[in-house]
């Protein structure tokens, strides 16, 4: 159980803040969800633990308030999912992780129950599916389908490209991995999504190195 939790906790950051925040509903009912998601975003950018914790806790409170006011709001559930996920990974595994993990996944699933086409939630779900072993509910084929759907419908989606790039890299499809990671890096830089830039740069470099090695003649 602990190893399963560790795998999931490591995956949480890859499924959050997937698209520019302008995708959040811009209705009067969308104010609280947007504030909650903004707290999640600010916490991810913060450097010290206390500041990160304060943002995520405030984001959780706002998310819970948003859900209480409108249980049928997909954006409210997704914003709560975002902050719950980040709170889970602040200090790694804890004795309360299993409960927190179940609650986090419940919010993600509820988001998709309300709006099956919710792109941020689809990207989060796809990322989890391609990375989890089948024993824990992983499904690479379905995960890839969801990520490709997100890319087609949201050309500026960064995380979906990074998740697919990792899959391609693991399969030895290094040219495709480089193309996906390179596109993700350009989008992240253009959109000033600073929290994704280091990840995109590292993945692009990894794909380049692996691609070069695969083309070296064998002795």
pLDDT per residue as tens, the chain (219 positions): 555 555 555 555 444 444 443 344 433 345 999 999 999 989 988 889 999 999 999 999 999 999 999 999 999 999 999 999 889 888 654 545 667 778 888 999 999 999 999 999 999 999 888 887 787 678 999 999 999 999 999 989 998 999 999 999 989 999 999 999 999 999 999 998 887 899 899 999 999 998 888 877 765
Dist. CA 55–CA 38, nearest whole Å: 9
Instruction: Tell whether 14 and 95 lie within a shared domain.
Output: yes
Residue 213 pLDDT: 83
> Which domain, by its residues, includes 107?
2-138
Residue 84's CATH number: 1.25.40
Q: How many domains does the chain have?
A: 2
Instruction: Tell whether 117 and 27 lie within a shared domain.
Output: yes
Residue 47 pLDDT: 87
pTM (two decimals): 0.78
Residue 197 sits at φ, ψ, to 5 deg, of -60, -50
Reduced to 3 states (helix: H, G, I; strand: E, B; else coil), residue 146 is helix
Instruction: Tell whether 29 and 118 lie within a shared domain.
Output: yes
**Is there a domain that residue 109 lies in?**
yes
Instruction: Tell whether 18 and 107 lie within a shared domain.
Output: yes
Tell me if 159 sits within 8 A of 119, measured CB to CB. no
* C-alpha dist (Å) from residue 167 to 160, 176, 178: 11, 10, 12
Any idea what DSSP says for residue 154? -
Tell me if 136 sits within 8 A of 8, measured CB to CB. yes
Any idea what DSSP says for residue 92? S
C-alpha 185: how far from chain center = 16
Instruction: Tell whether 114 and 82 lie within a shared domain.
Output: yes
């Amino acid at each position: 159980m602990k190893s399963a939790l560790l795998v999931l906790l490591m995956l949480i950051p890859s499924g959050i803040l997937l698209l520019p925040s302008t995708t959040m509903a811009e209705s009067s009912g969308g104010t609280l969800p947007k504030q909650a998601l903004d707290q999640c975003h600010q916490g991810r950018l913060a450097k010290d633990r206390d500041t990160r914790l304060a943002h995520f806790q405030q984001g959780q409170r706002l998310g819970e308030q948003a859900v209480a006011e409108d249980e049928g709001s997909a954006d409210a559930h997704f914003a709560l999912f975002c902050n719950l996920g980040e709170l889970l990974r602040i200090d790694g595994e804890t004795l309360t992780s299993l409960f927190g993990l179940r609650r986090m996944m419940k919010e993600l699933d509820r988001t998709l129950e309300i709006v099956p086409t919710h792109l941020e939630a689809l990207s989060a779900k796809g990322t989890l599916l391609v990375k989890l072993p089948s024993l824990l509910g992983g499904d690479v084929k379905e995960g890839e389908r969801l990520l490709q759907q997100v890319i087609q419908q949201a050309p500026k989606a960064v995380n979906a490209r990074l998740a697919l790039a990792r899959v391609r890299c693991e399969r030895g499809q290094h040219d495709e991995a480089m193309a996906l990671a390179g596109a993700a890096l350009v989008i992240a830089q253009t959109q000033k999504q600073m929290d994704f830039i280091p990840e995109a740069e590292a993945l692009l470099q990894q794909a380049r190195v692996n691609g070069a090695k695969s083309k070296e003649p064998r002795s």
